[in-house]
Amino acid sequence: MIMQNPVLLIAVPLLLAFLIPVFSSFFKGAVRFIPVLAGGFNVIAAALLIPQASGDVAVTEIGGWASAYGISLLFSSQIGYMILAVNLTALLAIFYYILNERDLGSPLAYPIAFTLALSGANGMIMTGDLFNLFVFMEMTAIAGYIIAVHKKGYLGTFRFVVLSSVGSAFFLIATASLYNATGFLNMAMAGKNLGALSTPFISVISVLFIMALSSEAELLPLNGWVAPVYRESSGAGSVFFASVFSGAALFAVIKVMLIVFGINYAYVHQGLLVLGLVTLAAGEAAAFKQSNLKKMVAYSSIAQSGLIIAAVAAAMRSGVLHNGLFNAALFQLINNILAKALVLLGIALLGQATLKEIGGAGTRKKWLGVFISAGVLSLIGMPGFAGFWSKLFLVRELVGNRMFVFTLVFLLAALFEAYYYLRFLQSLFLGKSTTAASLPKTSWVTYILLFVLAALIILIGFAPDVIIRAVSGLSLGGVL
Amino acid sequence: MKKVIALLLFLGLLFFLGTGLEQGLKLGDRNTLAGKAGEAYLKRTVNSADPSASPSQVEYGSETDIEENAANTLTAVVVGYRSFDTLGEVTVLFLAATGVMALFFASGKKKRLALAKPNFILSVSSGFLLPLIILFGAYVFTHGHLTPGGGFQGGTIIAAAVLLLYMAGNAYKAPATGLKVLEGFSGAGYLLIGLAGLLLTGFFLNNFLPSGKMGALFSAGVIPVVYILIGLKVSAELSGIVSDYMGED
Amino acid sequence: MSTLIFIGLAASLLIYAAARLSRPLGALLLMLLSGAGVAALILSWGKGFTETLPLGNGLELTFSLSTFNWPFLLLGAFVLFIVSLFAVNALKEMEHGASFLALLTLIGVSVMGVFGAYDFLTLFIFFELMTWTSFFLVSMGKTGAKKAALIYAFMSMIAAYLMISAIMMIAQYTGSFSYSDFMGMYEAMPSGIRTTVVIFFLAAALIKGGIYPVHFWLRSAHGDAPHVFSPVLSGLLVKYGYYSAFLFLLFFPVMVATKAGITQVTSTDGPNFILAFIGGLSIMAGTVAAILQSDAKKLVAFSSVSHGGYVILALAYGTNMAVAGGLAHIWVHVLTALGMFLSMGAVAYRTGTTDMDEMGGLIKNMPVTFTVYLIAIISVAGIPPLAGFVSKWMIIQALAANGSYILAFMAFFGSIGSFMYVFRPLATIFLGQRPHKFKDVREVPFFMQLAMLIVTLLTILLGIMPYYLLKPFTRIQEFIGMVPVKIGFSTVYSALTQLDMMLIFLVFGGGFLLALVIFLLFSKPTKVEQHEVYTSGEIAPEISTTPEIYHFSKGYYRSFGRLFSRWPSVEAWYHKGAAYISQFFEIIEQSLFKQSINGFIWLAVVVMAVLMAVRWF
């Protein structure tokens, strides 16, 4: 009964993180298991919470204060699946870190950063209050700074720090102005009181919010940090960025757009739509020429973020919420979280960095090749894998709503994405390596992590029913 | 040329932001609390039936049961109504300190930072100023719910004491392990209070201790406890940062 | 049929395991599986069924076996049967043989799914499955295959996305994905949507079928693919293009129109004529390009382009004779493509190369392969009494009978031009001087010979008794409501005249026997060493000294090539375009993602200003 409170998803990892310094002074060896504990607890808690959540949004008040004035958390079955996906990939990344990457920097800082990143991401997804969103954004961003530094990747992290700070500044200005104008920090209440305000105000506020959240969500214009950070960070770190941070941040943008601005402001969503499409096109274009694998995935991640935001914006811009398109975008987000984690873990296990160097690795390590292929084929949208259904639904909804330009950009981008990912698979299986370096040995336990993700992806690919029914149904009502 | 364009862009942005946010920023006399959430915080009417009603009369020193019975309204907001945000901010500080530590760890053992040789007055007076500063800091954070101040401020004062120790020239080294343990325990303590609220009343971070008399030291329920914990945590963290910068021997 | 799909999926894993043990075992398993498919299909001649496989959430897959897709399904099973028979020995040295066989099984499954689909979603799902499995298979070829595979995948994905857009438009209008709903609402669809849907599907069909001008991927994909896979590409996967052209040009519109007798589905003016013209262009371009090739497999690849042109021309033309001829030509092309690719594959198996300029004089070493190739090219060129003659005769009859002389000329050009290009491999590989290094080349092993001989036998038999070739297609014509072409056991009746293949065969056979008798009785040939054949013992001074380079077939059609050297090459345009796009992408990456911190702040400020300004004004 107590366990069914979503706050625990945030509070328990926080508690465990605070205990890490204590443990490190007395039981040094136990420190690395604490993030596992946090992640494991969260996954189980999320799995327990989902069955009793409904399609409507349930509000949890923190501190017992009325939700209009205090802070509240939102939870529904749709949010629950999002949380489950994010926490699951975080847990797998943490396992990977423990198994393979314990020689990273300070053995104290990384577990703290991972645990707090997990907590912050959950907070970003669930919170219903603007300033609370800011606080959790800061939490995840700073955890990100720590995670990004791995073997001295300082320049990329520095860029991340600067761009993220710029974003935070914009967010504060926007929040303060919004509070002053509407009188509430609670998203739903602020949204309700927006009606009386003038158009210039709303467009400026919305632009500030979009700019602020674009940094962590990997959208233009503040996503210049993505490629260097992915390239320099560790395997587990890159999974955190791709799945946990960007997933949580994207969901936060979607939440703000949906709850605060809602469907009545077409021009707000119009700008976001264009921004998303430009990000999509630019991301695919940049990825096309990459030979460094992690940068290739980084740009692809940018492009997918652009796609999801553009789809959500398109769903809201004509005065009526196109449920089908909105749900298809969320489905795509969840599929991407899983597939990107799988691909990035696989690339980290390959040990080599560029297309030429990994030549033929897939034949020497067959299972690794199979798992990576499952992730890549899902990203491309091949049938038998989860990504096929989300792409199919997106095309169906876009064509159904007569958004032909969007469809054209989307399919062109998908075309180029298929090209460079297929080129990657080709090199993986059929290439000839230019370095004689042998592949790092991986234990079978690590393969279990990859197996879990791949099995999920294939399961959703063959039986999309469960997820689709769960992902549908975020209603606008009941957020107060 | 670039500078001209940059200037133009800057002015343009100022124009947009200014005219757009004008409604939001409400400069000058137009800025009031009427109708905002802050008003309810001020009047302590958040959970009452009508948040815009006039506040009830309260006598200093007598038993009262208004929400968050803290005399210092700011504290009532920070550690009462928006306690969750404060928890987040404390965590942010924790992360920042961890980050500093990680960076210094990565660059290997540092030599002690060379400061100018302190003069005689500083070395001697640091000895008897130290307990005064610490006492003052402790006073600030224990009385956070009554007078201006609180955990963050008090903790900083104590960290300044540690800095004084370093600068006074003694071969002083802050006890790293002890600071870390203090940091961890106080943070965990804050969370445990929140979880206790969850267990006892069903709401996380609920103020479940008795309110007491307005203006007394033991009043306002959980708030002084939290602020003490925050004070300890902040002092430990900032001292840790100072000692990281100062380096080893 | 859905159980067949699942059996196929499971079988691919089984075959992979078997092939890891021993390659021939895996190939034999596949052969048994596809042979069972062939047998099952032949036994279910005339029967039909529809079957649904629900996927939950309102989605379902529908399969059907009926008159209109029976020949295509049979084609799929047959090609796989022959190729797996061939593969029993041919995969010996291939690097990834086990994965090859497993993927080949998956291709079989996907082809069954594509041809057996009764709704668009099923069609699309199996089409995508076909694309990525064939991508991997093409990549397994020699150097240059990887780049070719990427271009192939790229074009296939373009086709796929054209299709999915059209499918979603259909689904939005009719509310479901099934063929029958589409056919039911075809007439009532607004002509804008209908035209767009048809054009998209036809564009995808042209891309997949390798028709000029979107044919440029065929050359390297078929040419550089593994020798065992090229026949599948050319004999089977390309047929998807023809199948969807058939669906959209004929099956759907005509099924909607009255089921009364129609002799002509489409008119000869207007859009159909454009499509027919494109088919004609493809015939000519494919022929000319084939003549200019010096790699045997690339030459055969271009002949596929040219034959695709015939099919599209005939299907677009629409008279009942043309339709029957076009559909029959699909089967004929399968047999000839199999014959040519298998024999080239056999030669490559023994000599290690497909470059015609390096080979020669292999007729004594590989007589069976030679015969297979000879029969195949006689059929390709449309020379009686083989099957190729029947289908080409029908097409040209249809064109001539209706007075379309330009198109008839194009068809003729293809026929005559094909003499030139099919003869070249014959002369350069089998006839002429044999290089010393190939002195000990032997004939290919038994299974490979068997596979090739089955194809040859069928080519001959279907030529003598065209009834078996044409009956399935005349039944399709009845099914869709056209007046079927009249056929007898070995005769075809057209509006102008009739064609009696048995008679022709007897005449040819008689003539051959007569010539054989004369040869045996009267002339006494003088036997010489093989490498003195061309020069009759004399050494031409302007070529240098060693006998090995007496290859007078090098640069065989160089003078012909000079005639066409200035013609535009679509492939060159594609590569130029690709280079431009590459550069453009580079610029995008530089400007948006590779800036200094200053640059990013600039970018952010500019974007912010633009976004705010747009709403302002």
ipTM computed for the complex = 0.90
At residue C127 the predicted structure's pLDDT band, cuts being 50, 70 and 90, is very high
With a cut of 60, say whether residue C616 has pLDDT above it: yes
Element counts in chain C: helices (H) and strands (E): 24, 5
Q: In the predicted model, what is the mean pLDDT of chain C?
A: 82
How far apart are alpha carbons A333 and A218 in whole angstroms? 13
Q: Looking at residue A303, what is its pLDDT?
A: 94
8 Å CB contact of A132 and B88? yes
Q: Summarize pLDDT for A58-77 with one digit per residue, the tens.
A: 888 887 787 788 888 998 88
Peptide bond between residue A221 and the one before it cis (omega within 30 degrees of 0)? yes
Banded model confidence at residue C262, pLDDT cuts 50, 70, 90: very low
Mean pLDDT of C165-173: 88
Tell me the longest C-alpha to C-alpha distance in chain C: 101
Lowest model confidence (mean pLDDT) among A334-338, C349-353, C549-553: C549-553
CA distance A238 to chain B (A): 18
Q: Nearest-CA neighbor of C340 among C484, C470, C230, C492?
A: C230
**Whole-angstrom distance, CA of residue C266 vs CA of residue C262:** 10
pLDDT (tens digit per residue) in B53-95: 676 777 777 767 777 777 888 888 888 888 999 999 999 999 9
Which of C150, C586, C593 has its CB closest to that of A422?
Answer: C150
Closest residue, chain C, to B3 (C-alpha): C602
Cis link prior to C568 (omega < 30° from 0)? no
Q: Is the pTM of this model over 0.80?
A: yes
In degrees rounded to 5, what are phi and psi of residue A131?
Answer: -70, -35
Count helices and strands in chain B by DSSP H and E runs: 8, 0
pLDDT (0 to 100) of residue A297:
93
- pLDDT band at residue A85 using 50, 70 and 90 as cut-offs: very high
Structure tokens at C249: 């040009």
Does A69 contact B81 at a Cβ distance shorter than 8 Å?
Answer: yes
For the record, the structure tokens of A205 come out as: 């506020």
C-beta of residue C6 within 8 angstroms of C-beta of residue C107? no
**B12 and chain C in contact, CB less than 8 A:** yes
pLDDT in tens, A290-323: 888 899 999 999 999 999 999 999 888 776 777 7
CB atoms C605 and B9 under 8 Å: yes
Q: Is A110 on the interface with C (CB under 8 A)?
A: no
Which among C128, C165, C612 has the least Cβ separation from residue A395? C165
Domain-located, residue B108: yes
Is the bond preceding C231 in cis, omega lying within 30 degrees of 0? no
Q: What is the DSSP letter of C178?
A: B
pLDDT score of C263 more than 50: no
pLDDT at C251 (0 to 100): 76
Output DSSP code: residue C119.
Answer: B
Decide: C373 and C425 in contact? Cβ < 8 Å. yes
User: What is the model's pLDDT at position A479?
Assistant: 30
* Tokens at C493, concatenated: 């009746």
Distance CA A231, CA A236 (A): 12
Contact check, Cβ <8 Å, A399/C586: no
Determine the distance in angstroms separating the CA of A11 from the nearest CA of chain C, rounded to an integer.
Answer: 35
Separation of alpha carbons A299 and A290, rounded Å: 9
Check CB contact of A126 with chain B, cutoff 8 Å. no
> Does residue A469 carry a pLDDT above 70?
no
Nearest CA in chain C to B11: C609
> So what's the pLDDT on residue B3?
86
Gap between the Cα atoms of A447 and A445, Å rounded: 5
Please indicate if any CB of chain B lies within 8 Å of the CB of A197: yes
Which pLDDT belongs to residue C541?
60
**Residue C198 to chain A, least CA–CA distance (Å):** 16
C-alpha Rg value of chain B to the nearest Å: 23
- Can you tell me the distance from the alpha carbon of C87 to that of C444, in angstroms, rounded to the nearest whole number? 12
Closest partner residue to C139 among A286, A419, A426, by Cβ?
Answer: A426
Q: Is residue B46 part of a domain?
A: no
* pLDDT at A125 exceeding the cut of 90: yes
Highest mean pLDDT among A116-130, B205-219, C373-387: A116-130
pLDDT band at A376 (very low <50, low <70, confident <90, very high): very high
Percentage of chain C beyond pLDDT 90 is: 6
Tracing tokens 């020669």 back to the chain, one arrives at C360
**Contacts B203 to A, Cβ<8 Å:** 61-64
Give the range among C342-346, C432-436, C521-525 with minimum mean pLDDT: C432-436
Q: How far apart are CA C596 and CA A157, in angstroms?
A: 13
pLDDT value at residue C528: 66
At C293-331, the pLDDT tens digits run 878 888 888 888 999 999 988 888 877 788 888 889 999
A384 touches C: beta carbon within 8 Å: yes
Report the alpha-carbon distance of residue C59 to residue A385 in Å, rounded: 16
**C570 or A398, greater pLDDT:** A398
Is residue C531 over pLDDT 70? no
Q: Which of these ranges, A371-375, B175-179, C402-406, C447-451, has the smallest mean pLDDT?
A: C402-406
Supply the pLDDT for residue C431. 80
Tell me, what's the pLDDT at A164? 92
Give the mean pLDDT of C405-415: 87
Contact between C589 and A415 using a beta-carbon 8 Å cutoff: no
Q: Which residue range is the domain that position B233 belongs to?
A: 73-246
Asked if residue B137 is part of any domain, the answer here is yes
**How high is the pLDDT of residue B66?**
74
Residue A285 is nearest to which of C128, C588, C594, comparing CB atoms?
C588
Helix (H, G, I), strand (E, B) or coil at A292: strand
Helix (H, G, I), strand (E, B) or coil at B183: helix
Query: Using CB atoms, which chains have 3+ pairs under 8 A with A?
Result: B, C
Alpha helices in C117-190 (DSSP H): 120-139, 145-174, 179-185
Whether chain B has a CB inside 8 Å of the CB on C609: the answer is: yes
Q: How confident is the model at residue B192 (pLDDT cuts 50, 70, 90)?
A: very high
The answer to whether the Cβ–Cβ distance between B91 and A19 falls below 8 Å is no
Listed ranges A439-448, C170-179, C279-288; the one with the highest mean pLDDT: C279-288
Measured CA to CA, the distance from residue C392 to residue C328 in angstroms comes to 9
Residue B57 per-residue DSSP state: P
**pLDDT value of residue B133:** 93
Q: Tell me whether residue B2 is in a domain.
A: no
Please judge whether B13 and C613 are an interchain contact, meaning their C-beta atoms are less than 8 angstroms apart: no
Taking contacts as CB-CB distances below 8 angstroms, the residues of chain A near B200 are: none
Give CA–CA dist C334/C38, Å, rounded: 15
Mean pLDDT of A472-480: 38
- DSSP states of C23-40 as a string? HHHHHHHHHHHHHHHHHH
Sort strands C491-493 and C59-65 into parallel, antiparallel or unpaired: unpaired
**Tens digits of residue pLDDT in A221-233:** 888 888 888 888 8
Local confidence band at C401 (pLDDT 50, 70, 90 cut-offs)? confident
* Cβ-Cβ contacts under 8 Å for A304 (sequence gap 6 or more): A280, A283, A332, A336, A340, A379
Backbone angles phi, psi at C52, to 5 degrees: -115, 140
- With contact defined as beta carbons under 8 Å apart, do A233 and A150 qualify? yes
* Residue B5 domain-assigned (yes or no): no
pLDDT in tens, B4-63: 888 888 888 888 887 777 766 666 666 777 777 877 888 777 777 666 667 677 777 776
Q: Does B16 sit within 8 Å of A204, measured CB to CB?
A: yes
Q: What confidence category does residue C113 fall into, taking pLDDT thresholds of 50, 70 and 90?
A: confident
Cα–Cα separations (whole angstroms), residue A475 to A5, A190, A335, C19 = 21, 18, 21, 53
pLDDT tens per residue across span C19-52: 887 878 888 888 888 888 888 888 877 777 777 7
* Distance separating alpha carbons of residues A370 and A385, to the nearest angstrom: 13
Q: What is the mean pLDDT of chain A?
A: 85
Contacts of C616 in chain B (CB under 8 A): 16
| More confident of the two residues C167 and C534 | C167
Which residues of C are less than 8 Å from B3 in CB distance?
none
Average pLDDT over residues C100-111: 88
Could you tell me if C616 lies within 8 Å of chain B, comparing CB atoms? yes
The one-letter code for the residue type at C236 is L
Q: What is the pLDDT of residue A416?
A: 93
CB neighbour class for B13 (10 Å; exposed up to 12, middle 13-18, buried from 19): middle
Q: Domains in chain B: how many in total?
A: 1
Q: Which of B3, B7, B13, B21 to mutate to test the interface with C (most CBs of C within 10 A)?
A: B13
What is the C-alpha separation between C355 and C425, in angstroms, rounded? 10
Task: Say what the pLDDT of residue C2 is.
Answer: 67
CA-based nearest distance A105→chain B, Å: 6
In this complex, is the C-beta atom of A192 within 8 Å of any C-beta atom belonging to chain B? no
Find the closest chain A residue to B199 by CA distance. A2
Q: pLDDT value at position B230? A: 93
C613 touches chain B (CB under 8 A): yes
Report the phi/psi class of residue C352: left, alpha or beta, with left for phi > 0 and alpha for psi in -120 to 50. left
Task: Please report residues of C whose CB lies closer than 8 A to that of B6.
Answer: 602
Q: What average pLDDT does the structure give for chain B?
A: 83
Residue C560: Cβ-neighbour burial (10 angstroms; 0-12, 13-18, 19+): middle
Burial zone of B113 (CB within 10 Å; 0-12 exposed, 13-18 middle, 19+ buried): exposed
Question: Would the CB atoms of B16 and C609 count as touching at under 8 Å?
Answer: yes
Helix, strand, coil content of chain C in percent (nearest 5): 70, 5, 25
Name every residue whose Cβ is closer than 8 Å to that of residue A135 and which is 6 or more positions away in sequence.
A123, B85, B88, B89, B92
Return the number of CB contacts < 8 Å for B and C.
16
Percent of chain B with pLDDT over 90: 24
Lowest-pLDDT choice from A83-87, C337-341, C545-549: C545-549
Q: What b/e sequence results for C479-509 when a residue is b if at least 16 CB atoms lie within 10 Å of its CB, and e otherwise?
A: bbbbebbebeebebebeeeebbbeebbeeee
Determine the Cα–Cα distance for residues B234 and B243; give it in Å rounded to an integer.
14
Q: pLDDT at residue A476 above 50?
A: no
Q: Do B37 and A17 touch (CB under 8 A)?
A: no
Per-residue tokens: B149: 């101040």
Q: Closest partner residue to A116 among B25, B83, B91, by Cβ? A: B91
